[in-house]
Chain A
């Protein structure tokens, strides 16, 4: 089994290398343009907007993230948006076609929180992202196509600067901590005052229709941020773990009518019903481990079953690894690249595979306010997808191709980082398959579908040369 890209357009781009080459030259000139208009012009000239760009993935086992899956299906996209998913899809002649070769296709993953994927950018993302960063490439290689950073939602559009910033601010961080009773009190007061103001304001809006002399209510102690939360414009986000804090947040949310996002939520499993009734979202690292406070009489501390228990109580779960950044120091399996592995720990605690997939796709997309664009494969959404050589959450599975907005932005075989690991035949960088003495050879996906490409039988058997080469 292998997947390949064909480009049916004559004289046009053939593969990723050409893609990237074009961007590499185009981007610096973008950056030098000062006015926004000039920039747009340049973009127009480059993109030729009158010509629709079609992209299709064919021969795919599609797991759209909405339940169920399509066998041997096609996904068609026009100008980066999905127009069709199905088994009998007409692909236009001028479409770029990615043949998934029967491999699995999933929606691109959404990392709820990340750090360092876009170079040093940490705010003002529209102007500061570095989309040539190796971390970004490795994140794509591990399936991440959308990432939250500092409350913003960013698209991993490799080598591009336009359209990277999806949403500047989806949530606001509020503090409700047992360590700070005064802050707690002050937050409650703000909610009370702001809710009162909002009631008066809405009453005034009604009254105004019949009474021109009606007076606009004073803003007094109302808080602009809380007002946004109560109007549903941004989500209220908390960092809380202790059960008394969680209960307090649940009460606050129910009283004032908003749905809190709770990061950490370690003792959530002990108050799951209350959080479920409050319509809370929980951002969880299933592997977190903290022992319960010795002063706590009730159940407490972390539980591997946290995500599953919360989910059963109606709490929507987003999963994040222990570390937001890329860690190449040697300890593997706990940084942002291990997003799918961490979701696996959710399954270990009782979450279904489907719920775990949602926890790294559509739920974080909702929390970042970009669920209309990403998080599932559906018509009308961005064509951000992964071609994988197996179950996305299996530890041996690698992303073979990552597609962002209808463009192949990552190919395992053509990149430095992982090409040598369980390579398939099309890999340029990969050494010949290793065959140990006395072994019959690994039963690897690469070996299974020899019918397609049997070009280099010599190389495949010559394990020793491969070893020396490395």
Chain B
């Protein structure tokens, strides 16, 4: 049972065993299990990577209180006293941090059926119908700390359909679901040309614009109706997603690369339609548009390609090896996130995307790499009220790791999702 067995209770004599968390937790205090409905857990660690958006980042020798599925409090162990009825997990020299969030994953389900190329624009298609809980890809990802993913359609058409934000650990679809629609997947350039002959950029941009315009009209008609100013519009399933989009309850995740495509992502979707949109992929010198992205409030989630180098489609490439994320960061300054496009980069290697970013120049002086795996994608997808940092009120999605989470030598040892221990490397064998 590894170090769980070494966890220290406030009161060392207690031997209360708590279902669902493992028998070797030492329990503190003298209260009976029946005294509380939701048990309180305190995780004490050498470092707590809080990763809040604009508050605390790192607490040395910190403690995180978990009550039920939520984080109750976070602070230095020297300042927070641990109540008597609390089970304490002291992870010693290890670090704890929020679970990782991957905003570009294709392995949430059965695989080959997320790219239905029916029309050139398919805003009505939903990948949620293909989700397979606890599949082996998600299981391995979970073992490397990925607790939330945006499972999205492929990029075979200009609008591939709706993604879904899911937790990776639960055994049922209902329990996995964080938000649907998780995003509307729009693909510009390259891949959608596979849809058919004559799919040039002007035509593709026209179809995207045309669909967005129809969507806006539909969303506005419903909005007028809901304000009591208009008749009830006829329900059109293919346009329903636009009510969420224009109501700013979901975002567009955009398959976009290269300067000119990234520019059109920003100017068309954000500028013309005022939608919440972020750059997904973003490589091949897409970072040239970073200053505009910052001005327009468009985020960037970089991957699966983390470097631009010789022979890539970089207009001013002289052969230097450039980190894509570092170039966004340098030209921004902006908060940059990382993705895998799993299975292009395996789900479990999400952290390595940040590692390679840092290797090739991404500044990591203020926890930027960990933020790019947690709070930045969480905020970008509008779910930072639930995940992405270790702050009170958020889901208790917590990783315990031997040290720097971007060093491949450090494996994740424990994963908690919504307060429940869902992976214990020492007990069940290391999955990654």
Contact = CB atoms under 8 A, between A and B. Distances in A.
B319 A329 contact: no
A330 B330 contact: no
A422 B323 CA distance: 12
B411 interface: yes
Contact of A341 (B140, B305, B318, B408): B408
A333 B345 CA distance: 10
A437 B304 CA distance: 29
Given A344-B408, A349-B430, A395 B358 contact: yes
Given A304-B430, A395-B408, A416-B319, A329 B365 contact: no
A348 B319 contact: no
A34 interface: no
B365 to A, nearest CB: 5
A282 interface: no
A331 interface: yes
Given A331-B305, A332-B356, A396-B359, A417 B321 contact: yes
Given A348-B409, A436-B333, A396 B358 contact: yes
A330 B407 contact: no
Q: Give the residue among A138, A420, A421, A436 with the most B Cβ atoms within 10 A.
A: A421
B333 A330 contact: no
| Main SS class of interface, A | loop
A328 B310 contact: yes
A394 interface: yes
A126 interface: no
Contacts of B346: 289
Interface in B275-329: 283-284, 304-312, 318-321, 323-324
B117 interface: no
A104 B130 CA distance: 51
A172 to B, nearest CB: 34
Interface string B167-198: 00000000000000000000000000000000
Interface string B386-423: 00000000000000000000111111000000000000
Given A304-B411, A344-B407, A395-B355, A421 B360 contact: yes
A40 interface: no
A53 interface: no
A286 to B, nearest CB: 9
Given A328-B309, A328-B312, A417-B321, A348 B410 contact: yes
Contact of A416 (B140, B318, B331, B406): B318
B107 interface: no
A251 interface: no
Contact of B307 (A332, A416, A420, A439): A332
Nearest to B308: A330
A393 interface: yes
A353 B140 CA distance: 24
B103 to A, nearest CB: 18
B305 A421 contact: no
Interface in A387-439: 393-396, 416-422, 434, 436-437, 439
Interface of A: 134, 138, 287, 289, 291, 303-305, 328-333, 341, 344-345, 347-350, 353, 393-396, 416-422, 434, 436-437, 439, 442-443, 467, 470
Contacts of B309: 328, 330, 417
B309 to A, nearest CB: 4
Contacts of A349: 411, 430
Nearest to B406: A395
B366 interface: yes
Contact of A348 (B307, B311, B411): B411
Which 6 A-B pairs give the minimum distances between C-beta atoms? A330-B305, A332-B356, A328-B309, A347-B409, A344-B408, A332-B306
Q: Give the residue among A333, A344, A353, A393 with the most B Cβ atoms within 10 A.
A: A333
A117 to B, nearest CB: 15
Given A329-B312, A332-B305, A395-B408, 14 more contacts: A289-B432, A291-B136, A328-B307, A328-B312, A330-B307, A333-B306, A333-B352, A333-B359, A341-B355, A347-B408, A395-B355, A418-B320, A436-B333, A439-B365
A328 B311 contact: yes
A348 to B, nearest CB: 5
Interface in B341-361: 344-346, 349, 352, 355-356, 358-361
25 contacts: A305-B429, A305-B430, A328-B307, A329-B305, A330-B307, A330-B324, A331-B305, A331-B306, A331-B345, A332-B356, A333-B306, A345-B409, A347-B408, A347-B409, A348-B409, A348-B410, A348-B432, A394-B407, A395-B355, A396-B359, A418-B320, A422-B361, A442-B363, A467-B330, A470-B330
Contacts of A396: 358-359
B402 to A, nearest CB: 9
B431 interface: yes
Contacts of B431: 304
A443 B283 CA distance: 28
A432 to B, nearest CB: 13
Contact of B361 (A287, A304, A421): A421
Given A344-B407, A416-B318, A443-B365, A331 B344 contact: yes
Nearest to A416: B319
Given A330-B312, A344-B407, A348-B408, A420 B358 contact: no
